[in-house]
Amino acid sequence: MTNPEQLSSHGRRLLDRRCFIGSAGLSTAGLALASLLDGDGLLADDPQTVSGKSPIRPEIDPNNPYASRKSHFETPAKQVLVIYLPGAVSHVDTFDYKPDLIKLHGQKPPGLPEVTFEGPTGNIAKPFWEFKPRGETGKMVSELLPNLAKQVDDFCFFHSLSTDTSAHPQGENFMNTGFTMEGFPSFGSWVTYALGTENKELPAFVAINDPRGLARSGKNNFGNGFLPAAFQGTDFNAKNPPNNLKRPDSLTAKADRKTIDLLTRLNAKHMEKFPGDSSLAGRIASYELAGKMQTSVPDVMELAGETKATLEHYGVEGGSELRGQYARNCILARRLIEKGVRVVQLFNGSDPSGGNGITNWDSHSNILKTHSMQAEIMDQPTAALIADLKQRGLLENTLVVWATEFGRMPFLQSNGTGRDHNPNAFTCFLTGAGVKRGFSFGESDEFGFRAAVDKTSVYDFNATLLHLMGLDHERLTYYHNGLERRLTNVHGHVVKQVLA
C-alpha cells in the first residue's frame, strides 16, 4: 500500500507546477494545450479586446489556481489593502473643503436640481465640522477625522470622482466590480486571478467584513462573479473565522487526523488508476492547503501577541464597542498584509441594523450625529492601521485604497438634518506603494456638487488601481459569454498624475 506520508509529500510537491510536470512526464507544450482546451480557453485564433489590444489572460492551472503569477509590468505594489466605507461618506464634511458653502449657508442652491435621489432639494448647508489646515501641505481637513487628518501628507486624494448611479447597491457594485449590474467579478478577485499569491498557507484574498455584517451589495463586493470560485474573497474577521474552518467540536484531534489519513490512502489508491491526471492531484493538494489553513488562519487571527501599545494605538479599548471590534479588524488586516496575503478588503459599515442603531455612512438625516458615530468607529483605527503599515515598512509594497461609493449633497435633504446622495462628485484617497504623497488630484465645483477639474470616472479610478498593481486594465481579461471581459468594461484611463 502507498505510504500516506509519501503521498503527502508528493501532494505538497504538486503545489509546485514545475515539479509536477517533471514527475508526470508531460511536456510543457502538452500542458499549454491542456489549459487551452480545458474550458473557456479554446477561443478564436486572435482574440482581441474591444480596445484592440491583445488580452493577457493569466494562465491558470485549475488545480493550482493560487500559484504566484507575474504582473504585466514592474511596479512597487505587490499587495493591496482596500478600506471600503459603505453608505457614502460626505466629501464636503471631510476632505473636500468648500468655503462657498459657508458663505451661502441657508440659501437656495443656485442652478442645482430640484429633486435628488430621495426627494426635493433643500438649502445649502455649510460643513457640519470645522476645517483646518493640516500637515506640511496644509491640506484642509475637517474636525470629523482628527486622526486621519494628521497623516494627510502621505495621502493622495481624488476630489473629482463621479459615478453613474445614486443608489447604494449599484454604487457599491460599480466601485468594487466595475459594473452597476449584478454578477461581475470584484476588484480583489481580478487581482487574485491575475497575480495569484505568495503565501501558500493563507487565502489569497481576504474580505474582512464589518462587525455588523455585510454591506449592501453583500457578497458582490468580494465575489468572483463569473471567474472561477477559487478567486472569491474568503470572508472572515477578527471575531468570526471562515466558515467550517474549525475541526468540529464533536471530533477529537486524533479522530480527525485518522479520517484524513484514511482519505489520503483512498485517494492514493484511486490515483493509481489515473496516472498523470492533474485534476485529481490538484484536489489532493487543496486538502493539504485546507489543513494548513486550519493552523495558519487561527494564528493570524490571534491578537494576544500584540503589544499593549499597539492595542492602544488602534483604539481597541476606550471607545465604543464597535470601534473596538473594528480596531481588531484593522489589526487583523495588518497581520494579513504582513503575511503576504495579496488582497485584503476591510469594510467599515454594513447593511443590517445593529450596533448603535446606525449601520454605515448613509446620513440622510441627523448627519451630525450619524457621521460622528461612524467617524468615531473608523478614524482612529484606520489611521493607526496606515501608520502601522508605514512604520513596519509595509507601505513600500502595499497599495492602500480608502473608498466609498459616492458623495453627499452640499445642501440639505428636504431642509431636514441630513444630506442626500451625490453621484456627481466625491472623494477617495490612496496611499502607499507607487502613489504620490501629499497630493490632491482633481477638483469639484465651488459647492462640491459636481466634478469640475480633471473629472475622474470610476473606470478611471479602477484602471489606476490596476495600473498601480502592475496590470494593464485593457489587457487583463477573462472570456465570458462572448466578450473578453475587463474590470473597466470598455472604458477607463489611468490617472498618470497620481503615480509616484
Partner 1 sequence: MFINEFKIDSSVRLLLPIVIMLWALAAGTGLVSAQEIDFKRDVMPILEERCLDCHGEDEQESGLRLDLRAKMLRGGDSGLPAMVPGKPEKSYLIEVIKHLDEDFKMPPDEDQLPKDEIEVLTRWIMQGAVWPGQMDAVAKEESSHWAFQPVVRPNVPTTPNSNTDDQHSWSHSTIDSFLLKRLASEGLTYSAPADPRLLIRRLSIVLTGLPPTPEETARFLRDYKKGANKAYTALVDRLLDSPHFGERWGQHWLDVIRWAETNGSEANLYRKNAWVYRDYVVRSLNEDKPYDQFVKEQIAGDSMGVGEATGFLVAGPHVPAATVGREPAAIRQARADRMDEIMQTLGASVMGVTIGCARCHNHKFDPITIQDYYAMTAVFQDVEFGSRHPEYSLNHPLRQRGTKLRNQIEALRKELRKLGGWEEDWGAYRELHFKQVTTKAIRIRFKMNNVGLDELEVLGPNEHNKNIASSSRNVKVSGYPLKGTDGRHPIQRVNDNKYGTMAWRAKVDKKGNKRPWVGFEFETLEVINRLRLSSNREYFYGTDYLEKRPFLPRYEYDMEIFTKDGKWQPWIGTWFVNKKLNEKYSHRKKIVTEIQRLIGLLSEEGPRPSFVGRFVRPELTRVLLRGSPESPRDEVMPAGPAIFGGDLGLTSNDGGATRRATFAKWVADSNHPLTARVMVNRLWHHVFGGGIVPTTSDFGKAGAAPTHPDLLDWMAAEFVEPTASNQRPWSIKSMIRMLVISGAFRQSSAPNPKGLKIDAGSALLWRFPPKRNEAEVIRDAILQASGSLDKTVGGRGYRIHNVKKTYAQWEVVDNHGAETWRRMLYQERMRRVDDRMFTAFDFPDCGQVRAKRPVSTTPLQALNLMNSAFVLEQSKRIADRAQRDSPGDQSEAVKRCFGLLLGRMPDKEELDACLSLAREESLSLVARAIINSNEFAFLP
Task: Give the 3-state secondary structure of 293-305.
Answer: HHHHHHHHHCCCC
Minimum distance between the CB of residue 26 and partner 1, rounded to whole angstroms?
7
**Axis crossing angle, helix 4-14 with helix 278-301, rounded to the nearest 10:** 90
Q: Which of 67, 102, 245, 452 binds partner 1 (CB under 8 A)?
A: 245
**What x-and-dash track marks residues 182-221 binding partner 1 by CB under 8 A?**
xxx------------------x---------xx-xxxxx-
For partner 1, the closer of residues 277 and 446 by Cβ is 277
By the rule CB under 8 A, 117 interacts with partner 1: yes
By the rule CB under 8 A, 253 interacts with partner 1: no
**What x-and-dash track marks residues 38-57 binding partner 1 by CB under 8 A?**
xxx-xxx--x--x-------
By the rule CB under 8 A, 270 interacts with partner 1: yes
**Three cell numbers, residue 55:** 488580452
What CA–CA distance (Å, rounded) separates 89 from 268? 55
- Residues β-bridged to residue 479: 484
41 in helix, strand or coil?
helix
By the rule CB under 8 A, 304 interacts with partner 1: no
Longest CA–CA separation in the chain, Å? 85
Binding piece for partner 1, criterion CB under 8 A, among 91-99, 131-139, 266-274, 434-442:
266-274
By the rule CB under 8 A, 267 interacts with partner 1: yes
How deeply is 194 buried, as exposed, middle or buried, from its count of CB atoms within 10 A (0-12, 13-18, 19+)?
buried
CB atoms within 10 A of CB 497: 12
Q: Which of 6, 138, 263, 497 binds partner 1 (CB under 8 A)?
A: 263
Taking CB under 8 A as the criterion, which residues in 409-468 touch partner 1?
A: 421
Beta strands in 305-404 (DSSP E): 343-347, 398-403
Minimum distance between the CB of residue 381 and partner 1, rounded to whole angstroms?
24
Binding piece for partner 1, criterion CB under 8 A, among 80-88, 151-159, 229-237, 327-335:
229-237
Minimum distance between the CB of residue 245 and partner 1, rounded to whole angstroms?
6
By the rule CB under 8 A, 284 interacts with partner 1: yes
Which of 473, 315, 330 has the alpha carbon at shortest distance from 389?
A: 330
By the rule CB under 8 A, 59 interacts with partner 1: no
Binding piece for partner 1, criterion CB under 8 A, among 140-148, 279-287, 322-330, 467-475:
279-287
What CA–CA distance (Å, rounded) separates 426 from 62? 40
Query: Letter for the amino acid at 171?
Result: G
By the rule CB under 8 A, 255 interacts with partner 1: yes
Question: Do 200 and 289 contact (CB within 8 A), yes or no?
Answer: yes
Q: Which of 53, 70, 108, 258 binds partner 1 (CB under 8 A)?
A: 258
What CA–CA distance (Å, rounded) separates 472 from 469? 9
By the rule CB under 8 A, 13 interacts with partner 1: no
Binding piece for partner 1, criterion CB under 8 A, among 71-79, 242-250, 314-322, 373-381:
242-250
By the rule CB under 8 A, 28 interacts with partner 1: no
For partner 1, the closer of residues 270 and 392 by Cβ is 270
Kindly tell me the sign of the dihedral angle through the C-alpha atoms of 263, 265, 268, 269.
negative
Binding residue count for partner 1, defined by CB under 8 A: 104
What CA–CA distance (Å, rounded) separates 284 from 289? 9
DSSP state of 236: -
By the rule CB under 8 A, 226 interacts with partner 1: yes
By the rule CB under 8 A, 22 interacts with partner 1: no
**What x-and-dash track marks residues 61-90 binding partner 1 by CB under 8 A?**
-xx-x-------------------------
By the rule CB under 8 A, 235 interacts with partner 1: yes
For partner 1, the closer of residues 104 and 458 by Cβ is 458
**Axis crossing angle, helix 278-301 with helix 321-338, rounded to the nearest 10:** 130
Q: Which of 76, 135, 146, 228 binds partner 1 (CB under 8 A)?
A: 228
Beta strands in 297-409 (DSSP E): 343-347, 398-403, 407-408
Query: Letter for the amino acid at 392?
Result: R
Taking CB under 8 A as the criterion, which residues in 359-418 touch partner 1?
A: none
What CA–CA distance (Å, rounded) separates 108 from 480? 49
CB atoms within 10 A of CB 256: 14
For partner 1, the closer of residues 293 and 433 by Cβ is 293
